[in-house]
Amino acid sequence: MQVFDFFIPSHLKFGIDSLNRAGNIVSSVGNKVFLVTETALLGGEIISHIQNLLAGRKCEVILYDIDIKTFAASSIIDKGAVLARVSYCDVVVGVGGLRALSAAKAIAMLVTNTKSVNDYIDGEMIKEPSIPYIEIPTEARNPFMFNNTFLITDERTRELHILKAANGQPCNVIYDPAVMSDLALPQIMTNVLANAIEGYLSTDSSFLSDMMFLKAIEILSKYLMSAVKDKNSDAVSFLSLSGLMTSMGLSMASTGIIGAVSEVVNQKLRLENSGVASMLLPYVIEFCIPSSVEKLTRVAAAMGISVESMTMLDVAVKVIEHVKKMAEDLELPTKLSDFPLKADDLIDIGDRAKKLDMMNYLPRACSSEELYAILQSAF
């Protein structure tokens, strides 16, 4: 049997209205709170509700909002870290999507590791553990939720980097389906589907992560259309669960080509969720068929695809057809050319994606030429 590691140090609180426990959870960790969120959330009820909950527990709160179009840029991270440090904050709380949460995790790391984040991008060792960090996601898409990694943009080069903080995992995660944004639900959840499939196919997956990924794919396939078309709140809750299970699986495994390319494109277009993941998924599945045809039959079963009396190869093709149909039904982009990208951008996108760590766990090796060919096909 395969040897694997499973370690999730975060205390998870999941369920409708679990956000109401934020005051108790945060105050049990610290009382000088550095609250990091995205500017777009300031006009809504979530942030004010969290502030009231913290005030009720006598917590002092410094609010630091980030325009997600900056994509966790290094200077903004440094500025936040200095403010948290001089204010003697003892806990960082991140609220929002992947970029805001990456910024919050980075700030928690820099409170104790006092050099510029650019120094750590350049290879400086991150020695000290982060101060306590609590995560409150407002979307189901976060492949880094239960580990110590985060996305950062080097403003000097505009390149995307993934850094690892020493003991930087969230000490608590408050995952409330009721606060999940439905503004970009099709893009977010098809991104989750891509993460689950890539995690399942990755070389560092295990039987435990495989169970989580397959269940996440099953739940998502069953409830996505109902959540999007009918605005069914129960279906949205189940989708949140599929996102949670995918994040837990990715604490043991990794995304791959789709994860790397979609983050690079999102950064290039300055978008949080572009829909690139769903568009790339058929092409990446096709690339993975030679090494993953047996696993793809299990993906088909999880999706509810009837595969009776079919060869494994035919089943894999059915999976590709299924995800293409799903994207069409959700009216998502089907080609890279649907985005404000030029064919000349593809080489740069591929080169930047190849530098990300997630490209090291593909089920089959992918050369620069092969990656470029995938992007060309998708264009």
Span 22-80, pLDDT tens digits: 999 999 999 999 999 999 888 889 999 999 999 999 999 999 998 876 666 788 999 99
Return the pLDDT at 185: 85
Q: Is the pLDDT of residue 200 over 90?
A: yes
Dist. CA 70–CA 73, nearest whole Å = 6
Amino acid at 50: I
> Token pair of 361, please?
């766990």
Q: Is the pLDDT of residue 303 over 80?
A: yes
Q: Is the pLDDT of residue 156 over 80?
A: yes
What is the mean predicted confidence (pLDDT) over 256-282? 87
Q: Percent of the chain, pLDDT > 70? A: 96
With beta carbons less than 8 A apart as the criterion, state whether 173 and 146 touch. Answer: yes
Return the pLDDT at 210: 95
Return the pLDDT at 2: 64
Q: Is the pLDDT of residue 298 over 60?
A: yes
pTM of model > 0.85: yes
Q: Is the pLDDT of residue 288 over 70?
A: yes
Dist. CA 110–CA 107, nearest whole Å = 5
pLDDT band at 182 (very low <50, low <70, confident <90, very high): low
Span 304-341, pLDDT tens digits: 998 888 888 889 999 999 999 999 998 888 898 988 88
From 101-110, 182-191, 328-337, the region with the lowest mean pLDDT: 182-191
Q: Is the pLDDT of residue 1 over 60?
A: no
Mean residue pLDDT across the chain: 91
Return the pLDDT at 307: 80
Return the pLDDT at 217: 97
Dist. CA 70–CA 189, nearest whole Å = 23
Return the pLDDT at 176: 94
Dist. CA 319–CA 308, nearest whole Å = 14
> Token pair of 371, please?
């990656």
**Chain length of the chain:** 379
Q: Is the pLDDT of residue 84 over 90?
A: yes
Return the pLDDT at 339: 87
> Token pair of 120, please?
């750590």
Q: Percent of the chain, pLDDT > 90? A: 65
Span 220-251, pLDDT tens digits: 999 998 888 877 788 888 999 999 999 999 99
